[in-house]
Amino acid sequence: MDQEAARPRAALPNGPPPSVTAGDLELFRVLAKRSGQPVESELRGASMGLAIPDGSRIRIVYSEGSTWRKGEVVAFLAGSRVMVHRVMHVGRRGPARRFLITQGDGNWICDPPVALDTIAGRVEEFRVDDRWQGVGPARTSLVRRSVSLASLVLLRTALEWNPSFAIRIARGMTHARMKARGLWMTLRQCLASNVRP
């Protein structure tokens, strides 16, 4: 999946980000609550597009009992990685209230619904060239916004009806997207190999 991964300082510069567990997330919350200070990490990947460039330092702010709003950027545990994406929808009723729908600014479709208990905090600032700046709004093309809106409408409707169904739909969309991307890359390689200098 093309998503942002926040990486602690200890990870190797070009290696994969280290695995993170639910226990690590709980420890992060305890330390952040005790210190009252944001936690810094490095962002790897381009799925936050122009809003947070690849390789930026980010500040994650945790506050117990936070309410989340559309447009905010959050860090959350996704499997064994910490991801950083923008909130696209906040569940409104019943079991859906325990979930958010997120998406990277540079991604074409939304992520599977994110459980509130996996959120590490709000990403409020990033640093490029030794200057900290606030995270701005998403800047994406009209075509990308149109495609992502279709996935958002589908997932938002499914989430409000049944969160586990929404998760299955999102995983299916991601799988289909990855298959299409693989076919496109294969086609490009075939076309490039048939071009003569």
* Interatomic CA distance for residues 127 and 52, integer angstroms: 9
CB 99 within 8 A of CB 113: yes
Say if residue 44's pLDDT is above 60. yes
The pLDDT assigned to 21 comes to: 76
Reported pTM: 0.79
* Interatomic CA distance for residues 30 and 36, integer angstroms: 10
The pLDDT assigned to 9 comes to: 45
Nearest 5°: phi and psi at 187?
A: -60, -45
CA angle 68, 70, 72 (to 5 degrees): 70
Per cent of the chain over pLDDT 70 is 88
Domain boundaries, the chain: 5-193
Per cent of the chain over pLDDT 90 is 37
Contacts of 174 (CB under 8 A, 6+ apart): 1, 109, 112
More confident residue, 3 or 161: 161
For 1, half-sphere exposure in the C-beta direction (CA atoms, 13 angstrom radius) is 21
Average of per-residue pLDDT across 109-123: 92
The pLDDT assigned to 35 comes to: 79
Contacts of 121 (CB under 8 A, 6+ apart): 32, 38, 39, 60, 61, 62, 63, 66, 74, 75
pLDDT single digits (tens) 143-152: 888 888 989 9
Average of per-residue pLDDT across 130-154: 88
Task: Kindly indicate the confidence band of residue 17, based on its pLDDT and cuts at 50, 70 and 90.
Answer: low
| CA dihedral over 158, 160, 165, 166, signed as positive or negative | positive
Average of per-residue pLDDT across 35-54: 85
Say if residue 195's pLDDT is above 50. yes
Average of per-residue pLDDT across 75-93: 91
Q: Are strands 57-61 and 73-78 parallel, antiparallel or unpaired?
A: unpaired
- CB burial of 42-81 (b: ≥16 within 10 Å; e: otherwise) equals bbbbbbbbebbeeebbbbbbbeeeeebeeebbbbbbbeeb
Say if residue 158's pLDDT is above 60. yes
Q: Going by CATH, does the domain composed of 5-193 fall within 2.10.109.10?
A: yes
* Interatomic CA distance for residues 165 and 113, integer angstroms: 10
Measured torsion, CA atoms of residues 98, 145, 81, 61, in degrees rounded to the nearest 10: -70
Mean pLDDT score of the chain, rounded to an integer?
Answer: 84
Say if residue 197's pLDDT is above 70. no
Task: Kindly indicate the confidence band of residue 6, based on its pLDDT and cuts at 50, 70 and 90.
Answer: low
Task: Kindly indicate the confidence band of residue 31, based on its pLDDT and cuts at 50, 70 and 90.
Answer: confident
